[in-house]
Amino acid sequence: MFRVIEPVEIGFTVDRSQKDVQSQIVQHLIAQGGRIKVNDDSTILAGFGSNLKIRLLGAMFAGIKSMPRDVVVQLAENSGQTRVSVVVRDTFGFGSRMAISDKLQKLMYDDALSLKKAFAPSA
């Protein structure tokens, strides 16, 4: 009935400076509906979803994208390349996730992979 939603972690390298990568990530997160909570030299933290909306309406009525979660991005520059580490974690806390845990896990993967896709070369 209750299942712990494990954080999603991915990493990738971009052939650009850390400042350029950081700027693009912040723009991307805002465009996706994120609220920037932290934006310092090497860390970006963005919140998604609404704890209040989920508690009042439930996931079935509010929609899976309303599930509260944080996207944490760590940046490290080395020789003109930037290493990007992304962690997406569920922040709903204790509560029923019956029938939505798989959907939430997929949403968290989609959040992480959308950042990687933002840096993919255009075809």
Please provide the size of the chain in residues. 123
pLDDT at 75: 97
In 3D space, the residue among 8, 40, 13 whose CA is nearest the CA of residue 116 turns out to be: 13
CATH code at 51? 3.30.310.80
pLDDT tens column, 33-90: 999 999 999 999 999 998 788 778 876 787 888 889 999 999 999 998 999 999 999 9
Cα-based angle 11, 8, 118 (whole degrees, multiple of 5): 50
Q: Confidence band (pLDDT; 50, 70, 90) for 23? A: very high
Q: Is a pLDDT exceeding 90 seen at residue 95?
A: no
59 within a domain of the structure (yes/no): yes
Please check whether residue 53 is in contact with residue 62, taking contact to mean a CB–CB distance below 8 angstroms: yes
In 3D space, the residue among 73, 17, 71 whose CA is nearest the CA of residue 42 turns out to be: 73
Task: Tell which wins on pLDDT, 62 or 93.
Answer: 62
Please check whether residue 82 is in contact with residue 19, taking contact to mean a CB–CB distance below 8 angstroms: no
The number of distinct structural domains making up the chain is: 1
Residue 67: which residues within 8 A CB-CB, separation 6 or more?
49, 54, 59, 90, 92, 100, 104, 107
Q: Confidence band (pLDDT; 50, 70, 90) for 3? A: low
3 within a domain of the structure (yes/no): no
pLDDT at 81: 94
Please state the pTM of the whole predicted model: 0.88
Residue 38, domain extent? 8-118
2 within a domain of the structure (yes/no): no
